[in-house]
Amino acid sequence: MKKSKILSLLLAGGIVFSSFTPTYAATSSQIADSAQKYIGHSLKNYSAGDFIQYTLKGAGVLSSNNLSTLYKQGTPVSLSNLKKGDVAFFGSSSSNLIASGVYLGNNKIAIAYKPYGSVKLLSTNDAVVKNNFVGLRSYATTKESTNKTDTTKSTKNTQEAIIKAGLRYLGTPYEYGSSRSSTKTFDCSAFVRQVYIDAVGLDMGRGGATSQYHYLKNSGAKIKTNWRDLEKGDIMIFMPYRGTAKSNYSKDRDSIGHSGIYMGDGKVLHTYSKESGGVRVDSIAGRHWEYRFIAGGSPLKK
């Protein structure tokens, strides 16, 4: 690691908060326990960002593996409030991050830095730790002692955030194969991806509806095959359009052609053609949307 002046960084505040969403309530201890399992793990095929992503995933939190993105997410923490499970970032500045760590308590920190070759356990008093420290973030989503009411409230807030993010794009024009780097136009999967990025900071990748279905299954989400079991914000996966008759969708139901977001109240928030007017809301029951529905669920909940 390169040396850098540390005092001003230790006292730095005013870092912008960015929302971050769990798959379930994660405590600081759960994050620390998850990180400890990776001590000694080879970094040959993994980065410092991968270490944090896998650590958080082990505690039930989905995240990016990009250090700059991770640094902008979570809750800023001062050194005076340092606790187990807090994530530390290292480098010469917030725009040049090269290593990450998870505080394990008792002045011990698990650090991932590519040149080390593996995740190392170091003391927070080591010069290399002090001299390259940039900042701390907490990704814990609940206190060590929580209750069902708090968890339920957090889930509802997340669901509303997803719907609110989607509704901001109502009327945005449809474009098949739209750029994932622009919000001027969307195809169905680009819209779903962007909504989750905006609402909860989760990027499911640049693939289409089929890719999103695989992402959903690989996330450990509970897959629902009856759309009436869906909750607000859940991703919906559909067959390709074959007309309005229910009988048209009784065979070859493994073919995927569309994705959207369940809005609640029997409605889907999505986009599917230029003629439809772009991003819009449609009723599901008794229409081809109901017949075409394959599966759905939330990548934020197991």
**134 & 152 share domain:** no
**99 & 133 share domain:** yes
**130 & 181 share domain:** no
**120 & 193 share domain:** no
Instruction: Write the CB contacts of 289 (distance below 8 Å, at least 6 apart in sequence).
Output: 238, 268, 282, 283
Domain boundary among 79, 111, 138: 138
**178 & 248 share domain:** yes
Between residues 66 and 301, which one has the greater pLDDT?
Answer: 66
Cβ-count burial of 266 within 10 angstroms (0-12 exposed, 13-18 middle, 19+ buried)? middle
Q: How far is CA 80 from the centre of its chain?
A: 28
Banded pLDDT at 21 (limits 50, 70, 90)? very low
Q: Which amino acid is at 8?
A: S
**13 & 118 share domain:** yes
According to DSSP, residue 228 is labeled: G
**99 & 153 share domain:** no
d(CA 234, CA 300) in angstroms, rounded, equals: 9
Our count of domains for the chain comes to 2
Banded pLDDT at 22 (limits 50, 70, 90)? very low
Asked whether residue 1 is assigned to any structural domain, the reply reads no
Asked whether residue 2 is assigned to any structural domain, the reply reads no
d(CA 238, CA 99) in angstroms, rounded, equals: 41
d(CA 115, CA 99) in angstroms, rounded, equals: 10
**242 & 132 share domain:** no
Query: The domain spanning residue 116 has which CATH number?
Result: 3.90.1720.10
- Provide the residue count of the chain: 302
Tell me if 99 sits within 8 A of 1, measured CB to CB: yes
> What is the CA angle 283-289-294, rounded to 5?
130
In the numeric block, the tokens 């690691």 are attached to 1
> For the chain, what is the mean pLDDT?
87
**97 & 180 share domain:** no
According to DSSP, residue 14 is labeled: -
Domain boundary among 114, 138, 162: 138
Asked whether residue 288 is assigned to any structural domain, the reply reads yes
Asked whether residue 160 is assigned to any structural domain, the reply reads yes
Asked whether residue 205 is assigned to any structural domain, the reply reads yes
pLDDT tens column, 174-227 = 999 999 999 999 999 999 999 999 988 888 999 999 999 999 998 888 999 999
Cα torsion 69, 75, 80, 84 to 10°: value is -80
Rounded to 10 deg, the angle between the 28-36 and 48-58 helix axes is 120
pLDDT tens column, 215-242 = 999 888 899 999 999 999 999 999 999 9
Asked whether residue 143 is assigned to any structural domain, the reply reads no
**256 & 217 share domain:** yes
**37 & 177 share domain:** no
d(CA 268, CA 287) in angstroms, rounded, equals: 12
**54 & 174 share domain:** no
The parent domain of residue 107 ranges over 7-138
What Å distances lie between residue 218 and 46, 123, 208, CA to CA?
19, 36, 15
Cβ-count burial of 24 within 10 angstroms (0-12 exposed, 13-18 middle, 19+ buried)? middle
Asked whether residue 302 is assigned to any structural domain, the reply reads no
Cα maximum dimension of the chain: 70
Tell me what pLDDT residue 13 has.
Answer: 31
Domain boundary among 138, 167, 195: 138
> What phi and psi, each to the nearest 5 degrees, are found at residue 248?
-70, -15
d(CA 201, CA 301) in angstroms, rounded, equals: 15
Asked whether residue 61 is assigned to any structural domain, the reply reads yes
Averaged over 266-282, what is the pLDDT? Answer: 97
